[in-house]
């Protein structure tokens, strides 16, 4: 039998590496509730399952990666069930407001192999695209100044 009745709040926070305040706050604000038994007044005990620990750890990884709780909440709302399957073969791919569970070690695995933690990828092409579009929209007359991003010409402009 593995860990007779799940994990206490204090055990959970030690294992996951967060403060009790965080664990408590996350439980109260519905981010991650202890699924084995929830609190019901002072003196009662929270009991976290192994699955809960996995989620807590994922939350911490995202927080350490500089991601705000607001986004993490959206991720876990969507994710609630989808974590049942073989967890170790899964990558969470978060793109704006949509979350996907990417299965298998396909395209991006060579990047991921380096280390652990979260990868944040921002394609600058899209950034520049949006920017230029907006400039043209707001200032139809002026052409876009590209001096500092020109390929030929060695990009002067300080």
Near a second copy in 76-115, by CB under 8 A: 83-96, 102, 107-108, 110-112, 114-115
> What is the SS3 assignment for 97?
coil
Q: State phi, psi for 54 to the nearest 5 degrees.
A: -60, -45
Q: Smallest gap, in angstroms, from Cβ of residue 78 to a second copy?
A: 13
Token pair for 33: 């509730």
CB 16 within 8 A of CB 49: no
Pick one of 14, 20, 25, 45: the residue that binds a second copy (CB under 8 A): 14
> What is the SS3 assignment for 76?
helix
Pick one of 58, 77, 81, 153: the residue that binds a second copy (CB under 8 A): 58
Comparing CB distances to DNA, the nearer of 41 and 115 is 41
Residue 2 interacts with a second copy (CB under 8 A): yes or no? yes
Q: Smallest gap, in angstroms, from Cβ of residue 52 to a second copy?
A: 10
Comparing CB distances to a second copy, the nearer of 43 and 115 is 115
Q: Which residue has the tokens 């990047």?
A: 111
Q: State phi, psi for 5 to the nearest 5 degrees.
A: -135, 40
**Binding residues for DNA restricted to 28-67, rule: CB under 7 A:** 28-29, 39-46, 63
Q: Smallest gap, in angstroms, from Cβ of residue 111 to a second copy?
A: 6
Q: CA angle, corner 138, sides to 133 and 141, nearest 5? A: 95
Token pair for 48: 């976290």
């Amino acid at each position: 039998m593995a860990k007779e009745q799940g994990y206490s709040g204090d055990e959970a926070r030690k294992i996951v590496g967060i403060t009790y305040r965080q664990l408590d706050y996350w439980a109260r604000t519905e981010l991650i509730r202890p699924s084995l038994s929830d609190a019901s007044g002072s003196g009662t005990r929270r009991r976290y399952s192994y699955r809960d620990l996995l989620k807590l750890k994922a939350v911490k990884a995202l927080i350490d990666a500089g991601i705000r709780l607001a986004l993490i909440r959206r991720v876990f709302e969507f994710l609630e069930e989808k974590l049942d399957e073989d967890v170790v073969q899964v990558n969470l791919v978060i793109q704006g407001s949509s979350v996907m569970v990417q299965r298998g070690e396909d395209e991006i695995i060579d990047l991921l192999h380096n280390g652990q933690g979260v990868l944040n990828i921002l394609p600058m092409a899209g950034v520049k695209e949006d920017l230029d579009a907006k400039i043209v929209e707001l200032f139809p007359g002026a052409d876009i100044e590209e001096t500092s991003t020109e390929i030929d010409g060695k990009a002067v402009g300080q």
